[in-house]
Structure 1
Amino acid sequence: MLPPEVFERNPWQLMWLIPHLTIIAASISALLLTNIHWGYRLLLAVAIGHSYGCLMYLAHEILHGTVVKNGTLQNWLSGICMLPYCISPEHWKAWHNRSHHCHTSKTGRDPDSFGDVYMNRKAPFAKFTTKLAPGSGYLRSWFFMGFWFSFHALVTLFVHSKVFEYWKPAQRRKQLALFSAMVAFWAGVGYAVGPYNFAFIYLLPMVVANCVQMFYISTNHLFCDETQEENDPLINSLTVSTPRWVSWLHLNFGYHVEHHVMPYANSKHAPTIQAALKEHFGTRYHEMPLQQALRVLYETPPVHLSRQELVDMRTGIVYSTLGPNGELPQVVDQVAVPVRPRKRVKNRPAAVDVPVTETPPEDGEQNRAA
Structure 2
Amino acid sequence: MQFTNSQALIPQGTYAKKLRPLLPAEAFLPDPTKLVILFINLTILVLGWMIASHLDSWSIYLLWLYLPIAIIMGNSVMSLAVSCHDLMHGTVIRNSRLIHWITLLGLTMLWMPPTLWKVVHNRVHHNKTNSLDDPDRNYLYEQPNTWSKWFYHQFLPSFDVNPIRLVVGMGTVWGYYAFRNLTSVLFFNGQSVDYLPASFRVSAKERWAIAGEFFVMLMIHLSILVYLQFDPLKLILSYFLPIGIGYAVLIFYIYTHHLISPMTSVNDPLLNSVSIRVPKIVDLLHLNFSYHTEHHIFPGMNSDYYPMVQELLKIHYPDRFNLLSAGEAWHLLLTTPRSYKDENTLTDWSGKMSVPCPVKMPNDKESVKTSSSMTVEI
* 1: CA distance, partners of 2:72 / 2:29: 32
- Note if contact 1:189-1:198 (Cα within 8 Å) is conserved in structure 2: no
- Note if contact 2:291-2:306 (Cα within 8 Å) is conserved in structure 1: yes
User: Cα RMSD over matched residues?
Assistant: 2.3
* Alignment of 1:176 onto 2:211: yes
From 81, 85, 96, the counterpart of 1:71: 96
- Note if contact 2:341-2:351 (Cα within 8 Å) is conserved in structure 1: no
Q: Which residue of 1 is the match for residue 181 of structure 2? A: 156
SS of structure 1 residue aligned to 2:300: coil
- Note if contact 1:106-1:115 (Cα within 8 Å) is conserved in structure 2: no
Deviations 1:290-331 (A, max 9, x none): 1221121111111111111111234722211113478589xx
Deviations 1:53-94 (A, max 9, x none): 101110000000000011011112212211111222111101
- Note if contact 2:77-2:247 (Cα within 8 Å) is conserved in structure 1: no
SS of structure 2 residue aligned to 1:175: helix
* Amino acid of the structure 1 residue aligned with 2:326: L
* 2: CA distance, partners of 1:42 / 1:250: 21
* 2: CA distance, partners of 1:136 / 1:299: 4
Change (3 A) 1:349 1:19: closer
Q: Which residue of 1 is the match for residue 32 of structure 2? A: 11
Between stretches 13-22 and 82-91, larger displacement belongs to 13-22
1:219, distance to aligned residue in structure 2 (A): 0.4
* Alignment of 1:218 onto 2:284: no
Give the alignment's TM-score, normalised by structure 2: 0.81
* Alignment of 1:137 onto 2:133: no
* Alignment of 1:111 onto 2:135: yes
Change (3 A) 1:87 1:124: closer
Q: Which residue of 2 is the match for residue 343 of structure 1? A: none
- Note if contact 1:99-1:110 (Cα within 8 Å) is conserved in structure 2: yes
Change (3 A) 1:149 1:158: same
1:128, distance to aligned residue in structure 2 (A): 4.1
1:101, distance to aligned residue in structure 2 (A): 0.9
Change (3 A) 1:18 1:120: same
From 19, 23, 32, the counterpart of 2:44: 23
* Amino acid of the structure 2 residue aligned with 1:61: D
Q: Which residue of 2 is the match for residue 192 of structure 1? A: 227
* 1: CA distance, partners of 2:354 / 2:377: 12
* 2: CA distance, partners of 1:300 / 1:234: 20
* 1: CA distance, partners of 2:266 / 2:245: 35
Q: Which residue of 2 is the match for residue 266 of structure 1? A: 302
* 1: CA distance, partners of 2:24 / 2:260: 32
Change (3 A) 1:124 1:182: closer
Q: Which residue of 2 is the match for residue 96 of structure 1? A: 121
> Counterparts in 2 of 1:293-308, with a 5 A limit?
293-308=329-344
- Note if contact 1:2-1:276 (Cα within 8 Å) is conserved in structure 2: no
| Same amino acid, percent of matched pairs | 27
Deviations 1:123-153 (A, max 9, x none): 5543443333211624234422111112201
Structure 2 stretches lacking a partner, 5+ long: 1-21, 191-198
SS of structure 1 residue aligned to 2:112: coil
SS of structure 1 residue aligned to 2:80: helix
- Note if contact 1:130-1:136 (Cα within 8 Å) is conserved in structure 2: no
* 2: CA distance, partners of 1:302 / 1:318: 11
1:43, distance to aligned residue in structure 2 (A): 2.3
* 1: CA distance, partners of 2:99 / 2:204: 24
1:17, distance to aligned residue in structure 2 (A): 2.8
- The structure with higher relative contact order (CA 8 Å, sep 6+) is 2
Change (3 A) 1:32 1:349: closer
- Note if contact 2:368-2:376 (Cα within 8 Å) is conserved in structure 1: no
1:350, distance to aligned residue in structure 2 (A): 6.6
* Alignment of 1:288 onto 2:324: yes
1:170, distance to aligned residue in structure 2 (A): 4.4
> Counterparts in 2 of 1:52-67, with a 5 A limit?
52-67=77-92
- Note if contact 2:171-2:248 (Cα within 8 Å) is conserved in structure 1: yes
- Note if contact 1:114-1:126 (Cα within 8 Å) is conserved in structure 2: no
- Note if contact 2:30-2:93 (Cα within 8 Å) is conserved in structure 1: yes
Structure 1 stretches lacking a partner, 5+ long: 330-347, 352-370
SS of structure 1 residue aligned to 2:126: helix
Between stretches 160-169 and 206-215, larger displacement belongs to 160-169
- Report the number of matched residues: 330
* 2: CA distance, partners of 1:288 / 1:62: 27
> Counterparts in 2 of 1:76-91, with a 5 A limit?
76-91=101-116
Q: Which residue of 2 is the match for residue 248 of structure 1? A: 284
SS of structure 2 residue aligned to 1:9: coil
SS of structure 2 residue aligned to 1:310: strand
